[in-house]
Amino acid sequence: MNDTIKVVIIVVVGLTLWLVLRLISGKQKKVHVRFICALLKALNIVGCLIAILNIYYDINKAITAVLTGGGLILAILSFAAQKALNNIISGISISFSRPFNLGDKIKVLSGSTIIAEGTVSDITLRHTVIMTYDGQECIIPNGTMNESMLINVSSRDKVGNFLEITVGYDDDLDLAIDIVEKTVRSTPKVLDCTKPLVCRFDADGPVIKTTVWTANVAENFVACGHIRKQLVAEFKANGITIPYQTVTISKD
């Protein structure tokens, strides 16, 4: 068979398999299926390249020569590929453990630091893509994802978020607490809230704290924003102050 025909057959078969895998992964939200498809697509490309090169060159002899006399080259390639292999292996680990799926809302933490928070939109051989709530794509290496603490908020029936409001020491604290509770409970999308309590004393005044519960993180973000805006108006109408730091400059 002519070498050109062989190359055409390999390309057609490889392209067909790649399109099939792309079609399968595009319809799947399961993280392990998405990652396995990405891995198979990469192996398909490598296999096609090796098959085409083998038509014109003796690949076995080339590999043997590199293994026997290319120790330095192998060392350099191994060092350069460490992070890439780590991300691939970490991706396999994530696929087996399945801590999240596409569309899940997760929080990625390294110690007490939040690396990313948002919706999982994709996973590849190298990285996981998280769409943050402000519309940005956060691309995190799989190695980092595998080593970080993950909080999957999509696995719960509802999502709670703390809301803290500082009022003045001279204000009517019982009235302020009552306003906070009524405002939170009357806000659209809010499913429930804990009884507001004074959680601590700051330099500016007592801090009132409650937990706002909604169906998901996106609704919680919107609800808490609406609550804060409404509290400014309610506090102002009822003589409750929200203290803040001021600086007085004297000419003396």
Query: Element (H or E) spanning 122, and its range?
Result: strand 113-123
To the nearest 10°, report the CA torsion of 160, 206, 195, 242: -70
**What pLDDT is attached to residue 166?**
94
- The tokens of 121 are what? 């939109």
**What pLDDT is attached to residue 52?**
82
Helix count and strand count (H, E) for the chain: 8, 9
Question: Quick one: pLDDT band at residue 247, thresholds 50, 70, 90?
Answer: low
Residue 190 — φ and ψ, nearest 5°? -80, 125
DSSP character at residue 127:
E
**What pLDDT is attached to residue 248?**
58
Most confident of 73-77, 224-228, 242-246: 224-228
Q: What is the pLDDT of residues 92-117, one digit of tens each?
A: 888 888 888 888 888 899 887 888 88
Give the rounded percent of residues in the chain with a pLDDT score beyond 90.
33
C-alpha to C-alpha distance for 105 and 120, rounded to whole angstroms? 6
Per the DSSP assignment, residues forming a β-bridge with 130 are: 120, 138
DSSP character at residue 195:
P
Q: What is the pLDDT of residues 37-90, one digit of tens each?
A: 888 888 888 888 888 887 777 666 666 655 565 555 556 666 667 778 888 889
**What pLDDT is attached to residue 71?**
59
Read off the pLDDT of each residue in 139-155 and give the average, rounded to a whole number: 86
**What pLDDT is attached to residue 129?**
93
Q: Is the pLDDT of residue 11 over 70?
A: yes
Q: State the chain's maximal CA–CA distance in angstroms.
A: 98
Read off the pLDDT of each residue in 185-189 and give the average, rounded to a whole number: 93
Question: Quick one: pLDDT band at residue 213, thresholds 50, 70, 90?
Answer: very high
Reduced to 3 states, what is the DSSP secondary structure of residue 200?
strand
**What pLDDT is attached to residue 224?**
93
**Among 13-17, 31-35, 238-242, which stretch is predicted with the lowest mean pLDDT?**
31-35
Altogether, the residues listed in the chain come to a count of 252
Question: Over the chain, what is the mean pLDDT?
Answer: 84
Are the C-beta atoms of residues 206 and 169 closer than 8 Å to each other?
yes
Residue with tokens 């400014």: 232
Residue with tokens 């098959």: 51
- Spatial neighbors of 200 by CB under 8 A, at least 6 apart, are 206, 207
Say which CATH architecture domain 159-237 belongs to: 2-Layer Sandwich (3.30)
- Topology of 93-155 in CATH? SH3 type barrels. (2.30.30)
- Spatial neighbors of 174 by CB under 8 A, at least 6 apart, are none
Reduced to 3 states, what is the DSSP secondary structure of residue 69?
helix
Most confident of 45-59, 100-114, 120-134, 174-188: 174-188
Alpha helices by DSSP H, 57-155: 59-69, 71-80, 82-97, 142-147
Q: What is the pLDDT of residues 192-201, one digit of tens each?
A: 999 999 999 9
C-alpha to C-alpha distance for 180 and 165, rounded to whole angstroms? 9
Are the C-beta atoms of residues 35 and 94 closer than 8 Å to each other?
yes
**Among 8-17, 168-177, 243-252, which stretch is predicted with the lowest mean pLDDT?**
243-252
Read off the pLDDT of each residue in 169-188 and give the average, rounded to a whole number: 94
Domain definitions of the chain by residue range: 3-80, 93-155, 159-237
Question: Quick one: pLDDT band at residue 8, thresholds 50, 70, 90?
Answer: confident
Residues 153, 156, 161, 162: is their CA dihedral positive or negative?
A: negative
